[in-house]
Structure 1
């Protein structure tokens, strides 16, 4: 089955994660996605957590293009959501997603999916099992620069705190 096309003949990304081994691949595609706090939702009656963000397209960057794309991410079977350092009273605040991880629970396949954002913010999802979907929704646009992380400075700060 062909992937839906967004524009300029480019295929829309559609990924599913059905276990903890799938999440690192999904996480890699989501790295540096910009998410507006107001575009994050937990629907307890449906046990669904969802967000919409502006995903930096790392695959396009390998081909010399610097682009972002509107993308949706949702998790099914979510029992509880806990937020840390997420200003829910500021819906226009922007979070930069760095990684999506999974910590197994005492009764597999349950566990905690953690969305880790720059600046110390995180969202923990207590899930029955890993069941996630990422899909590009469009549009796609050019950006001036690729995301950069100053890991050297962070490593220096962590080393000085340990002394």
Structure 2
């Protein structure tokens, strides 16, 4: 008799995802929702046409498993990288305030996947980072082991 595989039987591995179209980006956006990062942890390398943010990402993909097993929810440091960046603009982000902590609400794209457009990282508190890109190409990669979320709570906000 065969039995269906269960999620719990799978080997947990760090995320390493890419997005080249709008559908892929929806997955990444959902995974980085409620990620937090200091303003000092974002960088734009104009010559390389790359923008990156080192996020403290809430592990949405592990939430149900943590609740079922009655253990604390987790965060993990992840690197969100946007390629083909031609221009960066922001609103509500004071780069001179080195203590500023930002929180991601969503990552969206306006434009054709094969043509220039804008990637927008929407932040809590009416902040946003707009990246003009030649073509849509993002990656999200976990770079540390998961750790217990300092608040030990699932992020909760009105949609």
> What range is the shorter-chain TM-score in?
0.7 to 0.9
Structure 2 equivalent of residue 111 of structure 1: 117
Structure 1 equivalent of residue 61 of structure 2: 59
Q: Give the one of 25, 31, 34 matched to 2:33.
A: 31
Contact kept? 2:114, 2:136, Cα under 8 Å: no
> Under a length normalisation based on structure 1, what TM-score does the superposition of the two structures give?
0.82
Q: CA deviation at 1:32?
A: 0.4
TM-superposition CA deviations, 1:29-62 (whole Å, max 9, x none): 1000001100000110100000101000001102
> Under a length normalisation based on structure 2, what TM-score does the superposition of the two structures give?
0.84
Instruction: List, as ranges, runs of 4+ consecutive aligned residues in structure 1 with deviation greater than 3 Å.
Output: none
Structure 1 equivalent of residue 155 of structure 2: 147
Question: Structure 2: how far apart are the matches of 1:18 and 1:87?
Answer: 30
Aligned-pair RMSD on alpha carbons?
1.6
Q: How does 1:125-136 map to 2 (within 5 A)?
A: 125-136=131-142
Q: Residue 77 in 1 paired to residue 84 in 2?
A: yes
Q: CA deviation at 1:110?
A: 1.1
Question: Structure 2: how far apart are the matches of 1:83 and 1:39?
Answer: 15
Q: CA deviation at 1:19?
A: 1.7
Q: Which runs of 5+ in 1 are unaligned?
A: 1-8, 152-163
- Give the length in aligned residue pairs: 142
Q: CA deviation at 1:108?
A: 4.9
Q: Which runs of 5+ in 2 are unaligned?
A: 1-10
